[in-house]
Structure 1
Amino acid sequence: MRRLFQLSNIQTFFFSLKNKHQQKKEIQKSPEESKKLFQQAQQLHKENQFEEAIFYYSKSIKLDEKNITPYFYMGHAYQKLYNHKQAIDCFQKYLENKPKETATYKYIGQSFLNMSNFENAIKCFHLALKSSPDDPLLYYNLAIAYEGQGEQKENKEDINKAIMLYHKSIMLDKNLKESFNNVGSIYLQKKDYSQAIQNFEKAIQIDKSFSDAYFNLSQAYVNQEKYQEALIPLEKAKDLDPENGQIYYNLAFLCYKLDNQQKAKEYLEISKQMLGQENEI
């Protein structure tokens, strides 16, 4: 079922900027100074000063264009700034000189994923799996990409493939709570509430402070009109994530359904303040 993409099929797309360096003006090279600038950039990177780090990575490259390692770290800095197009460009330039470093496709895939470009994210994660076939997070990210693509195209096959990949990630890391939560969410959409609840509860067993799983567990009960059962996990979600306006809105709804009108009004008012919008039950 899984489609694999050969490296040769994707190189042309990734490396269309290969000859850009030919247009650059001649700059006096200084490998030693380049090394110092690179070290300065890495220190700034560690301090989360990503824009400044990028500036020094760029200067380092200009002084020694044979040293392409700064491109790799510069890609990560751009990702931290949510500039995923620039991040992809940097990772691609790194791969031009180190084509065997296929693990780098993992990071390119993450940027495509954050851009909701699920098709290219899937291609990249498959390429990364060639060098890291036992990485649970790769299967997790690949599952997210297939799930996103399935929702975009309303393709049930992609959704089922996502479930399979989430399970694969769990086989490799039994404590991957996010995979249990995401599988539960898929079953919730499928209205298979038994499977949904089972997966949310497994996520909570792994991490009792996982507010998303409590929220989703509550929703599974709400969808079955089991309002009293829904209240307990939702109150737990509130305790863990007290700044989440959606939780207060859902609590207002549950209190309304359970004939606690005063509490429903209180929660509804809090949700309005947090969400910045008028909502009705």
Structure 2
Amino acid sequence: MFGFIILVGIGAWTLSRHPAAAAAGVPGAISEKMDKLWIIAQDALHDKKYLRAEKALLTILRVDERNATAYNRLGILYAKQQAYKDAVECFEIAQSLEPSASSLHNVGLIHYETGDYDKAALAFEQAIEMDDSIPARYIAYAKVQEKRGKQKQAVEALEKAAKIDRSPQVLHFLAEAYDKLGEVDLAKQLREQSTIMRAPTPEQIAQAQASRAAHAAHNVQTSHNTIRSRVVR
């Protein structure tokens, strides 16, 4: 489930936003109740108590029907339950209230999961246009282009991802894309780079050896102290 690995990550980011901000301009007593509802929704989502989370979020939306954050969280909740139609609707409402690359990205992921690759591509293109600094957007867009049979566009998207984040994982995706395009030599070079990047540095090896030596010395000292204690007794 490629898409929802990223969706969960974005969901976690969304949940980290301070809930009290949504209650701005709301009278004190209601604002306090809203804060409690946000906490209930967040805890319930974390504990996978989806019905409880849904009730809390819907109650928030009855008070503040233009709360984009609540719609985003509700969309994440529905996506986790594979209620994709409801999830898309929530993300689209959130997008209309408060335009956001994350909402568009989530819409794209859901269209990807349901096999509507043209709509997924459009959503990712719009998300990238709003925020082109996230490598995951290009990776997701590349996966969609592969499904559409557009391997060259997939490679171009992954090359842009690699410019932002030249991590072993991104290089692995790009190497696979080069293979599919017939660029075997380029794929081989990237895999070699990825292997080198994954290998521990001399400093890391030295630190690991020092740590093991210190741990062994501690165990020896502890053993000696135990023996001495028994002798004294």
Q: For residues 160-183 of structure 1, give each alpha carbon's deviation from its aligned partner in whole angstroms, at most 9, with x where no partner exists.
A: 001100011011012x11110111
In structure 2, the gaps of 5 or more residues are: 1-14, 17-28, 200-233
Counterpart of 2:81 in 1: which secondary structure?
A: helix
Identity of aligned residues (%): 26
State the shift of 1:148 in Å. Answer: 0.2
> 1:194, 1:266 → 2: CA distance?
32
Matched, 1:117 2:40: no
Q: How does 1:21-32 map to 2 (within 5 A)?
A: none
Matched, 1:103 2:35: yes
Residue type of the partner of 1:164?
A: E
Matched, 1:199 2:199: no
Equivalent residue number for residue 93 of structure 2: 168
1:182 to 106, 109, 115: 106
CA contact (8 A) 1:203 1:210 kept: no
State the shift of 1:249 in Å. Answer: 1.5
State the shift of 1:212 in Å. Answer: 1.9
State the shift of 1:98 in Å. Answer: 8.7
State the shift of 1:274 in Å. Answer: 6.3
Cα distance 1:242–1:172, how it changes in 2: closer, same or farther (>3 A)?
Answer: same
CA contact (8 A) 1:119 1:145 kept: no
> 2:60, 2:36 → 1: CA distance?
7
> 2:132, 2:156 → 1: CA distance?
14
Equivalent residue number for residue 246 of structure 1: 169
Please, which moves more after superposition, 125-134 or 180-189?
Answer: 125-134
- Larger Rg belongs to: 2
TM-score normalised by the chain length of structure 2: 0.66
Cα distance 1:99–1:185, how it changes in 2: closer, same or farther (>3 A)?
Answer: closer
Query: How much is the aligned-residue C-alpha RMSD, in angstroms?
Result: 2.5
Q: How does 1:113-152 map to 2 (within 5 A)?
A: 113-150=45-82
Cα distance 1:163–1:253, how it changes in 2: closer, same or farther (>3 A)?
Answer: same
State the shift of 1:273 in Å. Answer: 6.1
Which of structures 1 and 2 has the larger relative contact order (alpha carbons within 8 angstroms, sep 6+)?
2
Cα distance 1:223–1:131, how it changes in 2: closer, same or farther (>3 A)?
Answer: same
Residue type of the partner of 1:145?
A: L
State the shift of 1:187 in Å. Answer: 0.9
State the shift of 1:109 in Å. Answer: 1.4
Equivalent residue number for residue 148 of structure 2: 224
State the shift of 1:269 in Å. Answer: 3.8
State the shift of 1:101 in Å. Answer: 1.2
Q: For residues 208-248 of structure 1, give each alpha carbon's deviation from its aligned partner in whole angstroms, at most 9, with x where no partner exists.
A: 213222111111111223211101111111222223x3322
Equivalent residue number for residue 35 of structure 1: none
TM-score normalised by the chain length of structure 1: 0.55
State the shift of 1:130 in Å. Answer: 3.0
Q: Which has the higher helix share?
A: 2
- Across the two proteins, how many residue pairs are aligned to each other? 173
> 2:196, 2:44 → 1: CA distance?
34
